[in-house]
Amino acid sequence: MPIEHLDPGSPPPEGVVVELVGHGFVSAARDNSIRLAHAPSKAVVFANEPAAIGFLATHAPLVLQRIPLKFHPRSFEGGCGMNSRALLSRPTTDTATGAPAPSRSSVVRDVRSLEQALRADGKTPPWTPPEFAAWRAPLPASMTFHTPRCAKARRESHIGEKVQGATSLRNGWPKTLADHRVVASDADPAVPFLVDLPAPCLYTEATCSITPGSGQINVHPQGRSKAAAAVRLALQVFGLAGRVDVELTLTSNIRSARGNGGSSTDIGATLDVVARALGCELQGALVDFLTVATERASNPSYRGPGIFLQRAGVMPWQWPSWPGMRILGLDDSRAPDVVTDAMKRPRYSREQIDAFDFMLRGLIAAVQSGDVAAIGHLMERSAEINEEFLPRNFAGGLAALREIRKQCGSAGVAVSHSGTVAALVWPTDADDVDQKVERATHALRECGYDTFWNYTLH
């Protein structure tokens, strides 16, 4: 059920049409609904939260138009590729008066510099602070539902990545992704990317109930602060922040800090379940947008095969399916955890970025032609490069995995580029694949690995 039906007495939330230089998505308001479509430079964004206004002012050089829009969450489509961390930053204005908040963040600084620039140019910024309050949708007098709205959602995860690195924008990716660049070169920026190795056997299930209230959010088990942040963000998007209470329960078979994408899977499941409870469905691009906002990066497993720019939340290349692959995932439970948030971002050299560019071209061709041997070769090359940034110092390291790969006729080794898990891969139509997997499992056990996931990917 569309959310505006929950509160027929209140005016719909408002949105703005903004120009986001090259962030890769456009919007058009049609019949009072919101529609996002692929085209450069423009977007409709809900802007009824001060932090969102600050974010827009930071990232959009010019707010083109402010128009009233009814909120149809189902109509979200298309790409959504911006750095949305600012959505989680502290409010840039006092929520009651609209005046600038006393805390000084970069968002505020950018808003001001933008405002000064526009005024110097003889223009009046449409987002000046006094308007913030006007843009806020008024709180409804009452909610129309009388029983909790409940839902359940499930998100699957991955075992590390086939390839992960940074790709040059010279490859034809949108230039505006330079906001996420990892090389300090205006002439030749590069952005982080990954191609994951999905694992349907690893998942998070989320259940939630939403009731009218004052904004209380309870997450079970306790300590899942990112999931709580995701709930807050989802409520902001639906214009329900501070109006409802949420009870969220997460059940997961993913061990965190191993490279299985546990926290981003939690966040994905959380966003799904909140949306579902409200009778909505979030499109992938918006989920990526919100996940990046919550934890700086996202996890593309649910979006199917593709090259994913995880810091931007954009999937600029997709394949219809993976070639048939038999996967033997593995982990050494005694190996020390890898806390992704504490890891320094890899600083890839120009030579390495060149290598990744070529590897992506190779991967595109290999997946299209169903060449699992070539995919395996590229996976292993990526693992080799990653040794410089996160060496595998346990269970014989990458060398032992490669040796077992050779002995067992596997196509290649994939590793988690920010974790301890890894995987061996075979084409599903390889001769005696079951025996090879069994032999590899035995050899890996002798090597010290004690956790395995044996499955087929299509």
Q: Which residues bind other proteins (CB under 8 A)?
A: 168, 170-172, 188, 350-351, 354-355, 357-359, 361-366, 371, 373-375, 377-378, 381
Nearer to other proteins, 45 or 190 (CB): 190
> Going edge to edge, which strands form the sheet with 62-68?
42-46, 14-19, 62-68
Q: Using CA atoms, how far apart are residues 291 and 302, in angstroms rounded to an integer?
A: 13
Q: How far apart are CB 365 and other proteins at their closest, in Å?
A: 5
The answer to whether 230 and 291 are in contact (CB under 8 A) is yes
Q: How far apart are CB 230 and other proteins at their closest, in Å?
A: 37
Q: Using CA atoms, how far apart are residues 167 and 308, in angstroms rounded to an integer?
A: 11
Nearer to other proteins, 191 or 206 (CB): 191
The answer to whether 249 and 81 are in contact (CB under 8 A) is no
The answer to whether 455 and 199 are in contact (CB under 8 A) is yes
Nearer to other proteins, 379 or 390 (CB): 379
Nearer to other proteins, 188 or 432 (CB): 188
Q: Using CA atoms, how far apart are residues 232 and 229, in angstroms rounded to an integer?
A: 5
Structure tokens at 305: 């095969």
Q: How far apart are CB 113 and other proteins at their closest, in Å?
A: 33
Nearer to other proteins, 116 or 369 (CB): 369
Of the candidates 350, 304, 314, the one whose C-alpha atom is nearest the C-alpha of residue 183 is: 350
Q: How far apart are CB 364 and other proteins at their closest, in Å?
A: 7
Q: How far apart are CB 285 and other proteins at their closest, in Å?
A: 25
Q: How far apart are CB 317 and other proteins at their closest, in Å?
A: 13
Q: How far apart are CB 187 and other proteins at their closest, in Å?
A: 9
Nearer to other proteins, 121 or 351 (CB): 351
Q: How far apart are CB 359 and other proteins at their closest, in Å?
A: 6
Determine how β-strand 42-46 pairs with β-strand 422-427.
unpaired
Residues contacting residue 410 through CB under 8 Å, at least 6 positions apart: 328, 376, 404, 424, 425, 426, 436, 440
The answer to whether 386 and 363 are in contact (CB under 8 A) is no
Counting DSSP H helices and E strands in the chain, the numbers are 10, 15
Q: Which stretches of 1-92 are DSSP H helices?
A: 50-59
Nearer to other proteins, 174 or 212 (CB): 174
Nearer to other proteins, 58 or 168 (CB): 168
Residue keyed to tokens 């969102």 = 52
